[in-house]
């Protein structure tokens, strides 16, 4: 690891004492193109997991997408293919075609798969709509869903976002169909059922805007502490890290939050990182974006309980952000043409250390 890092730095004969980010980025671009070291190779050396979410359409249609995916990443997360509404469009029936193809790609290229997501308030099947379920009915549906999906991928998908986004900004529990019908115990039940379906899987609670300290992350901290106290099988917390150059994360608080979860013996994964620049890319915003990626990578790798960085999308071409916010953006590590951006080199620099 250290040897590779020294090699990368010395190759160009350029000192590490670079002061400005633009100089650093230029330097890293040169170093990378001279050595051909990929992010995946750097990550492998340091036992780190570097990942991206994957969409089925480009995976099927775009050879360049497949090439960059296998070359640069050692883990992937299906972006939509494993969501309940996507898998089960009719009650009792499952269509695993998309999810199976993504898992098969990962296996063919020795990549891990992080499953996303078993219990969420969004992307519910259409057959949920306009129907009232009793508490027992909904528990049966959820248990069957978790057994079916986790069971199918046992041995192939060995970590899961079990419960996704169950907490509101103000720290209250989200008023989802699960909470309303089953009560807050649905969280504990989901983790227990996932563990029964695959006792080897590492199980995560995953949420956004709860990376720093505050009402939302305090509720999550208290929730997972209570789950640990009750011996519920939970292994970690996913920090989605959907962030922006206009409002970058509070780095000291992110580090403190990772630390307090370490005290509960819980892992942290950065599960869905992207950094909005709020427009078409220009050098200065790309450099600011690189700095956010760099800082988060450094904080994660410095912690004993964090070694996964997954971005929410491979290339700016397929990010959810311009669609959702109806505004141009470029939040990821690779540009529209699959060229690595300054953020890529900034992450590589930290991983190479
Ligand atoms: O595939 C259909 C397409 O056939 C159809 O023509 C089109 C018309 O709207 O919709 C397409 O499906 C969309 C799908 O993305 C694929 O692009 C859905 O409408 C759209 O709702 C879906 O959005 C996804 C969203 O979750 C909701 O499931 C985003 O891709 C995905 O990036 C986003 O991911 C979430 C995480 O799961 C949880 N954390 C937050 C994150 C960002 O919102």
Domains present along the chain, CATH in parentheses? 5-351 (3.20.20.80)
* Position 34 confidence tier, pLDDT thresholds 50, 70, 90: low
Q: What is the model's pTM?
A: 0.92
> pLDDT tens digit string along 36-62?
899 999 999 989 999 999 999 999 999
Provide the pLDDT for residue 145: 98
> pLDDT tens digit string along 5-16?
332 332 232 233
Does residue 165 carry a catalytic annotation? yes
- Residue 76 belongs to what H/E stretch? strand 75-78
Q: Tell me if 320 CB under 6 Å of ligand 1.
A: yes
* Position 19 confidence tier, pLDDT thresholds 50, 70, 90: very low
Between the CA of 166 and the centroid of ligand 1 the distance, in Å, is: 19
**CB 58: neighbour CB atoms within 10 A?**
18
* Position 33 confidence tier, pLDDT thresholds 50, 70, 90: low
Helices (H) and strands (E) in the chain, counts: 15, 9
Q: Sign of dihedral through CA atoms 292, 345, 320, 312?
A: negative
SS3 326: coil
| Tokens (6 digits) for 155 | 């041995």
The residues pairing with 206 across neighbouring beta strands, listed in sequence order, are 164, 238
For the CA of 116, the closest atom of ligand 1 is 37
> pLDDT tens digit string along 206-235?
999 999 999 999 999 999 999 999 999 999
| The 3-state secondary structure of 102-151, one letter per residue | HHHHHHHCCCEEEEEEEECCCCCCHHHCCCCCCHHHHHHHHHHHHHHHHH
Catalytic residue among 267, 272, 288, 294: 272
Provide the pLDDT for residue 52: 99
Question: Locate tokens 């080199």: which residue?
Answer: 345
SS3 73: coil
Q: Tell me if 121 CB under 6 Å of ligand 1.
A: no
Between the CA of 280 and the centroid of ligand 1 the distance, in Å, is: 22
């Amino acid at each position: 690891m250290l040897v590779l890092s020294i090699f990368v730095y010395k190759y160009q004969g350029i000192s590490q004492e670079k002061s400005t980010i633009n100089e650093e980025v230029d330097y890293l671009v040169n170093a990378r193109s001279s050595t051909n070291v990929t992010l995946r190779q750097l990550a492998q050396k340091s036992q780190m997991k570097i990942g991206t979410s994957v969409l089925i359409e480009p995976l099927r249609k775009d050879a360049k997408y497949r090439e960059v995916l296998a070359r640069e990443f050692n883990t992937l997360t299906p972006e939509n293919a494993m969501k309940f509404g996507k898998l089960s469009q009719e009650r009792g029936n499952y269509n695993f075609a998309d999810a199976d193809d993504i898992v098969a790609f990962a296996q063919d290229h020795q990549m891990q798969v992080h499953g996303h997501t078993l219990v969420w308030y969004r992307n519910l099947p259409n057959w949920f709509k306009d129907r009232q379920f009793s508490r027992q009915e909904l528990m049966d549906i959820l248990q069957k869903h978790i057994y079916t999906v986790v069971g199918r991928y046992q041995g192939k998908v060995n970590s899961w976002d079990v419960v996704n986004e169950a907490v509101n900004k103000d720290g209250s529990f989200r008023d989802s169909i699960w909470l309303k019908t089953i009560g807050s115990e649905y969280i504990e039940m989901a983790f227990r059922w996932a563990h029964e379906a695959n006792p080897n899987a590492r199980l995560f609670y995953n949420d956004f805007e709860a990376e720093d300290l505050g009402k939302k992350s305090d509720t999550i901290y208290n929730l997972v502490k209570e789950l640990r106290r009750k011996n519920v099988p939970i292994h970690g917390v996913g920090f989605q890290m959907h962030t922006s150059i206009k409002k970058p994360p509070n780095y000291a608080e992110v580090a403190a939050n990772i630390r307090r979860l370490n005290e509960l013996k819980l892992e942290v994964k950065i599960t869905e990182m992207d950094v909005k620049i709020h427009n078409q890319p220009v050098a200065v915003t790309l450099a600011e974006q690189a700095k956010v990626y760099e800082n988060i990578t450094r904080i994660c790798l410095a912690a004993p309980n964090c070694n996964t960085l997954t971005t929410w999308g491979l290339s700016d071409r397929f990010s959810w952000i311009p669609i959702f916010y109806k505004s141009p953006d470029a939040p990821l590590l690779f540009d529209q043409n699959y060229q690595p951006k300054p953020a890529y080199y900034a992450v590589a620099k930290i991983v190479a250390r």
